[in-house]
Amino acid sequence: MDFVETLLTDRLRSAVATVLGPGHAARDLQVRSATRPEFGHYQTSLPLRLAGPVADSPRRIAERLVERLDVEDVCLPPAVQGAGFINFTLRPDFLARRVNEILRDAALCVPRGEPQRVVVDFSSPNVAKQMHVGHLRSTVLGDVLARVLAFVGHDVVRQNHLGDWGTQFGMLIEDLLEEGHDGADLDLAGLDAAYRSARTRFEADAGFAVRARARVVLLQGGDRGTLAVWRRLVATSLTAFDEVYVRLGVELDEHDVAGESRYNADLPRVVDDLLAAGLLTESAGALCAFLPGFTTRDGSPLPLLVRKADGGFGYDATDLAALRYRVEELRADRLVYVVDVRQSLHFEQVFALARAAGWLPERVATDHVAFGTVLGEDGKPFKTRTGATVPLVSLLDAAQERATALLDDRGSTLQGAAREETARAVGVGAVRYGDLVNGLGRDYVFALDRMVAMDGNTGPYLQYAHARSVSLLARAGGSGDVVTLLREPAERRLAFAVTGFPGAVAAVAETLQPHRLCAHLHQVATALSSFYEACPVLSAEAEVRASRLALCRAAQRVLAVGLELLGIRALERM
């Protein structure tokens, strides 16, 4: 099924070719959603742009085009309005047909593109540290993008690029051993605390610093005892991360883990190959790649530090190795990195060097999904009053607590386990939606009160709209499969909203901007609520009743699948 825009564009294109010649039909005809309801469903300003080239008035051109426009099966006679706009209003029977097609299709008519293997890098917490609010965006955005890309037919490979390697582990392991721990006797919160105290000790105690550095050498050299402790740290961390993922509804498990340590053995090869390619320069003892177009603060060339002066490797080298693995071993056609916007320059450099080295062929696309920082109410990066990071679980606890209060406040009849389960889904859904609804790139303020609110563009609002539609359909008892009548404006508005779903999902797959899907689902939910007010369903006369039920079912399906793509549970009762 083509998008309606595509359909109208094709028809318009033949009219342009007939009336003005094929030369003019080649341009982008710009059929867009109407900016105002009185302009119908779609509009184009093409005649305004053709006025110059054709040497005629926009309105004349519009009238000539409309004369030859064959769209009878799709919309009412197109109107020439304003300075030379052509407005399209879809026919109710066409809208009904579209809704029915969506209703019949398991994938809701979301088009499947040319299948690609897409590697999505997201979440990437650090071993021995609790996941905190800073991991929320990468985890949730990445999860949604992976879901959406898979839904449109791509072969998605999730990669959790765990921070599981580096000098800090020497410090932590040395501290643990000196304090009599074996690495398995502490949970993640305990490890997190130990990490902080080890850090303090490292800075205050010169003797410890020396032993910590020696421990790094042991770890990197593969010392058995040291490695054993390290493995326990990783295992403990993964178990805790998994709990958070399950609770958040994130589709990410241990099979998706490919941490920094995995690329450890590849790092010398990365250096060798870059050296052989003549891409590295020695500078102050380090091996650097100086790429054209990158400069530092004083205007000198900005290096990518592939090997540090002490012989160690930084994350530049690790990211290069990971990129190479993803292209060569995972056979990626597209690499998506869901990582903080502050790493933009880093990724530009890594991609540029990989292209120069021939590790990133032209056919492989790269996307850095760069998102902004989560801020506290004070407008500064979200921290506790004492300046510590906020564990993700405590946020989810708070959200769930508020969701429970919300259910009680709204007189929910749910009790016991069902009540708790629902509160959990509402709380998590609120946090996820509150994150996803924001545009990428910019910072946003984490305001739990707004996220868990019943009003407005929130997760609970969408879940409620869904639950309500399920409830109505259940009462109706299964009748109503086909939309046949769309007489009321509220019915048409809802039908039109439903038909926008395939385009909204496709837009997210293309632009990697989940907030577009949020906006669309919110539109469907509000149209559904208005429809309830204006159009009685169960008490309506037989044919109207059946048609309205089908429309309702279509909206319910869109909300259910849409929420699923956002990783939010489409509840049946609230």
Near RNA by CB under 7 A: residue from 18, 57, 116, 343: 343
Which residue in 566, 243, 573, 194 sits closest to 397, CA to CA? 243
Q: Does 352 bind RNA (CB under 7 A)?
A: no
Sequence-ordered strand ranges (E) for 388-516: 444-445
Shorter beta-carbon distance to RNA: residue 64 or 522: 522
Site for RNA in 209-228 (CB under 7 A): none
Give the per-residue contact string, 162-201, with RNA (x = CB under 7 A; - = no). Answer: -x--xxx---------------------------------
Which residue in 443, 446, 444 sits closest to 342, CA to CA? 443
Near RNA by CB under 7 A: residue from 57, 389, 471, 484: 471
Site for RNA in 231-270 (CB under 7 A): 260
What is the smallest separation between the CB atom of 467 and RNA, expressed in angstroms? Answer: 4
What is the smallest separation between the CB atom of 168 and RNA, expressed in angstroms? Answer: 7
Parallel, antiparallel, or unpaired for β 79-81 and 42-44?
Answer: unpaired
Site for RNA in 479-538 (CB under 7 A): 513, 515, 519, 522, 526, 529-530, 532-538
What is the smallest separation between the CB atom of 169 and RNA, expressed in angstroms? Answer: 10
Shorter beta-carbon distance to RNA: residue 215 or 333: 215
Q: Does 3 bind RNA (CB under 7 A)?
A: no
How far apart are the C-alpha atoms of 192 and 245, rounded to whole Å? 18
How far apart are the C-alpha atoms of 104 and 98, rounded to whole Å? 10
Contacts of 370 (CB under 8 A, 6+ apart): 339, 340, 341, 343, 344, 440, 441
How far apart are the C-alpha atoms of 7 and 44, rounded to whole Å? 13
How far apart are the C-alpha atoms of 377 and 23, rounded to whole Å? 56
Shorter beta-carbon distance to RNA: residue 276 or 418: 418
Shorter beta-carbon distance to RNA: residue 153 or 372: 372
Contacts of 37 (CB under 8 A, 6+ apart): none
Token couple for 97: 């047909």
What is the smallest separation between the CB atom of 439 and RNA, expressed in angstroms? Answer: 2
Q: Does 405 bind RNA (CB under 7 A)?
A: no
Return the residue matching tokens 């091996």.
287
Q: Write b or e for each residue in 338-357: b if 16 or more Cβ atoms lie within 10 A of its Cβ, otherwise e.
A: bbbbeeeebbbbbbbbbebb
Shorter beta-carbon distance to RNA: residue 396 or 494: 494
Q: Is the dihedral of CA 161, 163, 166, 169 positive or negative?
A: negative
Shorter beta-carbon distance to RNA: residue 156 or 392: 392
What is the smallest separation between the CB atom of 450 and RNA, expressed in angstroms? Answer: 7
3-class SS of residue 317: helix
How far apart are the C-alpha atoms of 397 and 388, rounded to whole Å? 18
What is the smallest separation between the CB atom of 368 and RNA, expressed in angstroms? Answer: 11
Shorter beta-carbon distance to RNA: residue 53 or 115: 53
Q: Which amino acid is at 60?
A: R
Shorter beta-carbon distance to RNA: residue 169 or 208: 169
Shorter beta-carbon distance to RNA: residue 356 or 414: 414
Size of the site for RNA (CB under 7 A): 98
What is the smallest separation between the CB atom of 313 and RNA, expressed in angstroms? Answer: 7
How far apart are the C-alpha atoms of 389 and 132, rounded to whole Å? 6
Shorter beta-carbon distance to RNA: residue 158 or 522: 522
Stretch that binds RNA, among 210-218, 361-369, 388-396, 566-574 (CB under 7 A): 566-574
Find residue 33's DSSP bridge partners.
42
Contacts of 165 (CB under 8 A, 6+ apart): 259, 260, 261, 264, 318
What is the smallest separation between the CB atom of 361 and RNA, expressed in angstroms? Answer: 26
Site for RNA in 431-470 (CB under 7 A): 438-439, 441-445, 450, 453-458, 460-461, 464, 467-468, 470
Q: Does 9 bind RNA (CB under 7 A)?
A: no
Site for RNA in 48-67 (CB under 7 A): 48-49, 51-52
Q: Does 76 bind RNA (CB under 7 A)?
A: no
Site for RNA in 278-337 (CB under 7 A): 283-286, 288, 295-300, 302-303, 305, 308-310, 312, 314-315, 318
CA distances in angstroms from 448 to 115, 228, 376, 398, listed in the order given: 38, 41, 10, 8
Q: Does 412 bind RNA (CB under 7 A)?
A: yes
Q: Does 406 bind RNA (CB under 7 A)?
A: yes
What is the smallest separation between the CB atom of 563 and RNA, expressed in angstroms? Answer: 14
Q: Write b or e for each residue in 34-45: b if 16 or more Cβ atoms lie within 10 A of its Cβ, otherwise e.
A: beeeebbbbbbb
What is the smallest separation between the CB atom of 473 and RNA, expressed in angstroms? Answer: 9
Which residue in 488, 482, 489, 433 sits closest to 461, CA to CA? 433
Shorter beta-carbon distance to RNA: residue 277 or 444: 444
Q: How many CA atoms lie within 13 A of 556 on its CB side?
A: 19
Q: Does 542 bind RNA (CB under 7 A)?
A: no
